[in-house]
Structure 1
Amino acid sequence: MDLGLNGKSALITGASKGIGLATAHSFAREGVSRLYLAARSADGLAAAKATLSAEYGVEVQVHALDLSVTANVLALADRCGDADILVNNAADSTPGPLDQLPDQAWRDSLDMKIFSYVTLTREIYARMKARGHGVIVNDIGNSGENWDANYIVGTTGNAAMMAFTRGVGGRSLDDGIRVVGVNPGPVATDRMVKLMKRRALDWYGDEGRWEELFDKYPAKRPASPEEVADLIVYLASARAAYITGTIVTIDGGIASRRSII
């Protein structure tokens, strides 16, 4: 299936590992000509650039920035303003229940999960609007629809980003732009291991038992980063031209089941 991505350019945040890096590989395989990759890790980005350039011959520009800082988000938008596709993916919400999280944990997490997404969307959207086309994909998370008291910062931030995506995406076709979201459940990444260890500590009193949690999932496993990446790339493609203002959940049925306890 030709996704119509040949010659396009894509900006991906959180692109040095996990879903972001897998998304970069998926875009490159589908013929995107230029990738803008942003993340905190300069070393991770350098390794990603070397691999992507060697495997696919794609042009790769890297931007090592902390996107919890608004000035860095604005700088990234200025550097990558011609991107046809934006994938907001950089986030790292602190796990834990309400009584264990101080205000600073909330602010640090939501600066990444909400404000970096909102600011970068606003800046890139304006440039897309001037050109009359573009796609923005927000990688959010299924806790936004499957509320979790033990992941209260993440569940709150994700619910907010779901509303943001639907609100902006409901009107964006007026400007020739599509805005969509993806809600992954557990994905086999370093970040998932951190969250799973916290959940195992809450449930079993032993973070070392985190792999036992897979038995509670309908699919008995997490998603792979590549499974989420391929969905993101499809939604960004011409094949999904009638999809905007909606969220696609990829969690093996967890949110629909409403509980994995």
Structure 2
Amino acid sequence: MQNTNKTVIKSMKLLHLFRTNPTLTLNEMVDAAGLPKTSVHRMVTSLEEAGLLQRDGTGSYKLGLLFLEFGQLVTERMDLRKIALPYMKELRDQIGEAVNLTIKDQSEALYIEKLDTTHPVRLFTKVGRRSPLYAGACSRIILAHMAEEDVETYLQEQKLTSYGNGTITDAAKLRDILSDSRKKGIAISRSELENGTTSVAAPIFDFKGEIAGGLSIAGPSERFSDDKIQQMIDQLKQASYEISKELGYKEPPL
């Protein structure tokens, strides 16, 4: 507890008051939290500016709409994992390699589910791992299907650092590969995040037709010949399409 930020802890104490109270005045927060009024006023002002609290016409406070956005995001991500898991199990059993599920989180891809291969030689990936959107098939398939202006902003702001001997660090080459992935509905990476590894990924779309995540098959490159990758692609794309349909996606498969 030595490294905790006391202001953050106290601010969370104020927010917790709203779990049982729809609205609270400043004085009611002071009394309930047992904190000095000046401190509460300062924290409430910051929370309001951040969108975590909202003041109504009477001067009382309630939780801000940002919580609604966060709640929707959490629900969507949990639903995606729940929907995808049976298809991931089927895919893993059919192909015998690890299957990963990722989503976009800020400027990174976040692994929210992983099913390991049955082979003794495995890759080091785990739920909660993050990777840059430009590196690795399961990350880059998300980047490829983002809005074009968002992709360009990302490429202009992102430093393309090498992680493996196959990492794409040339922006022009990366743009071409993203365009190709968008057209074909598939991304393939070789030694981009870790040397000696290969990954094949397909996009998952939501009911709005927007990218919701990436589904990939990954393993040691020695088990991913060109012929085997081609065999994987149809099964992978079908699985990602079925997941997309359950999310409300209406378009035909890529």
| TM-score, normalisation: structure 1 | 0.27
Higher Cα radius of gyration: 2
Give the TM-score, by structure 2 length: 0.27
Structure with greater proportional helix content: 1
